[in-house]
Amino acid sequence: MATLQEPAAPASDRSYWGNVWHAVKSTAVGMGITFRYLWTKPFTTQYPDERLPVDGRYRGIHYLEQDLCIYCQACAKACPVDCIDMGAQRHGKELEWEFFSIDYQKCMFCELCVYPCPKDCIHMGEQYSLVTEDKSDFLLELTSWQGLTEEQKLRIAEAEAAKAAKKAAAAKAKAAKEAAEAAAEPAEPEEGKE
């Protein structure tokens, strides 16, 4: 039969009044401590309004240095979850960007896309919160412009102009050469005729 055990006496050699004094004192000391903490400046930050700085190695949402990118697809090939997609048209040396998107429903921030980049133009950013009410918002566009910029157009125009000039020069040279040849030619046949 299970027997009721008398509860062991508390392992304290304090007297009755000692217990009373101890209780009052410890409560008072504790309340003093909490009162001090009540007036200290809170340690927390008001998150959406103020954000803690993130570490330099932090792997947040990517950012792309679009003007450096050469549309080599190295990052897209390196991505283990195939979340990078890009499209562009080449105009000689210039790229006409259509899109460079990362699907953050898939992305796991592994940083494997960063290493193979030959131009070091894709980086892991500092932004870490992506809050949205629509799933399609997770397909994030990283390009800051699409199509051709004025500068690019200018450069293309310059290149075309240079090409045209070169062509013209070449044509001119050819024409000159032809003219020279033509000038020299009649003698020869004549010589040949004779």
131 touches another protein by CB under 8 A: no
Closest CB 147 distance from another protein, rounded Å: 41
Residue closer to another protein, measured from CB, 6 or 190:
6
Q: How far apart are CA 43 and CA 52, in angstroms?
A: 11
Distance (Å, rounded) from C-alpha 194 to C-alpha 191? Answer: 5
The whole-angstrom separation of Cα 5 and Cα 64 is 73
CB of 39 to another protein, least distance (A): 8
Kindly state the tokens that stand for 93.
């040396």
Secondary structure class of 62 (helix, strand, coil): strand
The distance of closest approach from Cβ of residue 102 to another protein in the complex, given in angstroms and rounded to an integer, is 31
Per-residue x/- track, 3-22, another protein (CB under 8 A): xxxxx-----------xx--
User: What is the rounded distance in angstroms from the CA atom of residue 111 to the CA atom of residue 57?
Assistant: 10
* 39 near another protein, judged by CB under 8 A: yes
Does position 46 interact with another protein (CB under 8 A)? The reply is yes
Among 14, 24, 68, 169, binds another protein (CB under 8 A): 24
142 — phi, psi (to 5°)?
A: -95, -15
Interface with another protein (CB under 8 A), residue from 8, 35, 53, 193: 35
Tokens of 92: 């000689």
Ordered strands of the 139-141 beta sheet: 84-91, 94-103, 139-141
Least distance (Å) between residue 32 CB and another protein:
9
List interacting residues with another protein (CB under 8 A): 3-7, 19-20, 23-24, 27, 30-31, 33-35, 37-44, 46
